[in-house]
Amino acid sequence: EIVLTQSPGTLSLSPGERGTLSCRASQNIRTYLAWYQQKPGQAPRLLIYEASKRATGVPARFIGSGSGTDFTLTISSLEPEDFAVYYCQQRDSWMTFGGGTKVEVK
């Protein structure tokens, strides 16, 4: 099973700041990585697929990058609605998710 390790566990930032979230895969997953946002009491929301493609309706401030084993989700300027938990997910070998990064208000 491919293991995804996300860091940091918690990111404390202020609105308007830039957020950088990391996801590392236990083996090469090419660009088969997606990112989701989840708010309390809600289902996850797809943000990015194929490492860098924004899903329908996702604002341009969400930027995905990386390939192989190292991936990054950058939120260029945090809006109040962006404070949430973010998960990465691989589809190179079935499907697994990372443990999440919580982006909280500093």
Partner 1 sequence: QVQLVQSGAEVKKPGASVKISCKTSGYTFTNFYVHWVRQAPGQGPEWMGVINPDGGATNYAQKFRGRVALTRDTSTTTVYMDLSNLRSEDWATYYCAREDIHTGMVLFYWGQGTLVSVSS
Nearer to partner 1, 32 or 71 (CB): 32
Q: Point out which residues bind partner 1 (CB under 8 A).
A: 1, 32, 34, 36, 43-46, 49-50, 53, 55-56, 87, 89, 91, 94-100
The CA–CA distances, whole Å, from 65 to 39, 75, 83 equal 23, 12, 20
| Shortest Å, Cβ 46 to partner 1 | 5
Distance between CA atoms of residues 59 and 96, nearest Å: 25
11/34 with CB nearer partner 1: 34
Minimum CB–partner distance for residue 28 and partner 1 (Å): 17
Nearer to partner 1, 14 or 93 (CB): 93
Minimum CB distance to partner 1, residue 62 (Å):
15
Q: Which residue has the tokens 């099973």?
A: 1
Quick one: CA torsion of 62, 63, 64, 65, rounded to 10 degrees? Answer: -160
